[in-house]
Structure 1
């Protein structure tokens, strides 16, 4: 079976998700081809990402996120004789409609969706939900598949590199999105620790943002403290891009007070690297919780996101987050035992190869459903809500977008 995965394809979380699907399908006997609609500036000719099975889309200038050029895509589908296409975070529905018209089975990895998008997902023959939270949103879909998330426990085995320390080292990864991942909440909690607890701990943050950007939500007083803690190495900021298995070996406990997550990629990775978790008591973060070693932080409030994402954001209690940090500091003599249990938890529950072993056979058994023109109209209407007549005037929109970029982004 020839499987096409339509995805961004470079050093980013979404691409790591697609890579895990690629590895799973190949392990199960499928032949996988990547249609890369993003990442060509970063990963083309990079041996970690580029290969003869990767096609880099040439026409990417378009105002809709994750645009797929219809002519390029159709040529690729026919040339590679694709039987099944899996779309990763696809908002532009034209390529999905094209696959259905060509009689190709289509599925989606479920991550981003709004309430208005839910009926549009009926166009897919199957959906893959990696969390119970996503599954609950699509419980009425004809073929919603629950495939619990996991990771490569052989790659994410950072406990083998970890050097012991007298201090408890809290590790946090926020990439380019510190606000969504709750970095400000963690900083406020850590800055409120007593001097005695500070002496027994460190905070390590892996990010692609500057110190000023990380601290922009802090008060003036907190910013001064933050800067002084960075100077005396109580807080360490690491800004370099690192390939898997990342920098988990630098920490002892993984702290991830995320306001919103579609999957929680780093939590399975951290568990595999023998790290207990401190996360909000909200899905999907709390789906990774083992109550004997991990800490679920109380939620103070929930609120909608500006872009209309289906699930509300949370904001966890800074007081409770601080208490969570203190728990590991005060019980650091048990940390080695908890770390062993975290690794055991990963080996039992988060081995991707095991969790996904049924997937290709399941997809093979799913029938291609007839194309429903009513659903097609819903998909087109969703895209045209923000960009009127964009399906008819694609060339004009592309030209306008190109001019806009040349003026404002040059």
Structure 2
């Protein structure tokens, strides 16, 4: 099947989970024999891997001088798709996230499928984004333009792929979409690469001056309010009263506010900010931590949670979005109410104190995570493509 995969994010240009999704799904579909033409933004200095069998790239013009540079990408996209179809028509157009449908005319006669990772309108409501902020942040997803595009995108798509039941229900309730139009296909991860030797773990701890303490891990965009880092830092201060522990914070984004908060809370000596790390190093951090904490206010899926599962780690996470679909309380993690610092602190402390429970939960996660892998995801997606093209 010839598939046009339209994505503004693709490694090495990654903003969040959508970029990881794009890379993983396309590579696994290619292994199944599908031919993918990936339409990516032509960003100066960004080079895409062109050596994968069954994958080609088409770079679509953007103009960084525009207030919203993705607009330029979408405007040039139809011409690029039509140019490609001069050789052979596409069987499927797959959009990774909201895009393009600010115009009524579709870009191909092939079925249009869109993957929705989360609703932008949920982000605006969850973060209580002010009108002034939405005006100033014209480039971001909380601008006035993006929710309108989201609505058009969801209504115009032939079919919708949701990454969780939570997101599916949000789409139905927010935009009054028929449930038959939406199919849930969970995200996955690469389950390989988590088996580090104890010697490697110890050496990394020593290099980072983490030897001797228990380690709590946070992974997410540092300055994204949805990820709940500010809340976690306040909770971590309480944990330090009883335990000698370090908090490792991994992720992109401006660290200034978080660093200043850790200074004011007098916990900075126990908090390590790594910034963005490579995939190999990220897996190593998951493997060396004692507890993974996800304090999010909103999660359309929760990719970092299944990454922690793959490392066999106990998890403490907020009971929001799709997270309860991934974690069963006290079986493969602890669920706490969003914003409830007492529950968060007591759950972390319980795992630090009781190694038996911690190890048991970690072992349960090693079993649970097997259902979340990109290869199985791609096989399900491939079957779904076949069904859609026959309708």
Which TM-score bucket, shorter chain as reference? 0.7 to 0.9
Contact persistence 2:98–2:116 (CA under 8 A): no
More displaced stretch, 139-148 vs 57-66: 57-66
Q: Give the equivalent residue in structure 1 for 2:143.
A: none
Q: What is the deviation of 1:108?
A: 0.2
More displaced stretch, 156-165 vs 237-246: 156-165
Label 1:317 to 1:215 Cα distance change in 2 as closer, same or farther (>3 A).
Answer: farther
Q: Give the equivalent residue in structure 2 for 1:260.
A: 298
Residue of structure 2 aligned with 1:294, choices 313, 318, 333: 333
Q: What is the deviation of 1:118?
A: 4.2
Q: Give the equivalent residue in structure 2 for 1:310.
A: none
Q: What is the deviation of 1:79?
A: 4.4
Contact persistence 1:125–1:368 (CA under 8 A): no
Q: Give the equivalent residue in structure 1 for 2:10.
A: 9
| 1:206 and 2:244 aligned | no
Greater radius of gyration (CA): 1
Q: Give the equivalent residue in structure 1 for 2:99.
A: 91
> How well do the aligned residues superpose, as a CA RMSD in angstroms?
3.1
Q: What is the deviation of 1:321?
A: 1.1
Residue of structure 1 aligned with 2:39, choices 35, 40, 59: 35
Q: Give the equivalent residue in structure 1 for 2:381.
A: 359
Spell out, residue by residue over 1:28-58, the C-alpha distance to the aligned partner (whole angstroms, 9 max, x if none). 32111211136x3453156799997122212
Contact persistence 1:96–1:106 (CA under 8 A): no
Q: What TM-score, normalized by structure 2, do the two folds share?
A: 0.76
Label 1:211 to 1:354 Cα distance change in 2 as closer, same or farther (>3 A).
Answer: closer
Q: What secondary structure, in the 3-state scheme, does the structure 2 residue paired with 1:153 have? A: coil
Contact persistence 1:64–1:92 (CA under 8 A): no
Spell out, residue by residue over 1:187-235, the C-alpha distance to the aligned partner (whole angstroms, 9 max, x if none). 00001225331x2x2211113345533145x4xxx63344xx433xx22
> Counterparts of 1:319 and 1:184 in 2: how far apart (Å)?
15
Q: What is the deviation of 1:322?
A: 1.1
Q: What secondary structure, in the 3-state scheme, does the structure 1 residue paired with 2:247 have? A: strand
Q: What is the deviation of 1:158?
A: 5.8
Label 1:43 to 1:261 Cα distance change in 2 as closer, same or farther (>3 A).
Answer: farther
Label 1:242 to 1:127 Cα distance change in 2 as closer, same or farther (>3 A).
Answer: same
Label 1:237 to 1:49 Cα distance change in 2 as closer, same or farther (>3 A).
Answer: farther
Q: What secondary structure, in the 3-state scheme, does the structure 2 residue paired with 1:175 have? A: coil
Label 1:49 to 1:328 Cα distance change in 2 as closer, same or farther (>3 A).
Answer: farther
Q: Give the equivalent residue in structure 1 for 2:362.
A: 339
> Counterparts of 1:176 and 1:78 in 2: how far apart (Å)?
44
Contact persistence 1:162–1:249 (CA under 8 A): yes
Q: Give the equivalent residue in structure 2 for 1:379.
A: none
> Counterparts of 1:329 and 1:103 in 2: how far apart (Å)?
57
Q: What secondary structure, in the 3-state scheme, does the structure 1 residue paired with 2:239 have? A: coil
Residue of structure 2 aligned with 1:174, choices 220, 223, 232: 220
Contact persistence 1:230–1:237 (CA under 8 A): no
Contact persistence 2:41–2:60 (CA under 8 A): yes
Q: Give the equivalent residue in structure 2 for 1:53.
A: 56
Q: What is the deviation of 1:66?
A: 3.4
Unaligned residue ranges in structure 2 (runs of 5+): 122-146, 206-210
Residue of structure 2 aligned with 1:18, choices 1, 22, 26: 22
Spell out, residue by residue over 1:306-340, the C-alpha distance to the aligned partner (whole angstroms, 9 max, x if none). xxxxxxxxxx2122111121111111344333322
Contact persistence 2:194–2:287 (CA under 8 A): no
> Counterparts of 1:87 and 1:185 in 2: how far apart (Å)?
34
Q: What is the deviation of 1:96?
A: 7.8
> Counterparts of 2:55 and 2:239 in 1: how far apart (Å)?
52
| 1:126 and 2:159 aligned | yes
Return the structure number with greater relative CO, CA threshold 8 A, min gap 6: 1
Contact persistence 2:114–2:159 (CA under 8 A): yes
Q: What is the deviation of 1:250?
A: 3.2
Q: What secondary structure, in the 3-state scheme, does the structure 2 residue paired with 1:335 have? A: helix
Label 1:156 to 1:64 Cα distance change in 2 as closer, same or farther (>3 A).
Answer: farther
Label 1:270 to 1:283 Cα distance change in 2 as closer, same or farther (>3 A).
Answer: same
Contact persistence 2:218–2:293 (CA under 8 A): yes
> Counterparts of 1:207 and 1:17 in 2: how far apart (Å)?
17
Q: What is the deviation of 1:97?
A: 3.2
Q: What is the deviation of 1:74?
A: 2.6
Q: What is the deviation of 1:86?
A: 0.7
Q: Give the equivalent residue in structure 2 for 1:238.
A: 274
Aligned length: 339
> Counterparts of 1:50 and 1:184 in 2: how far apart (Å)?
43
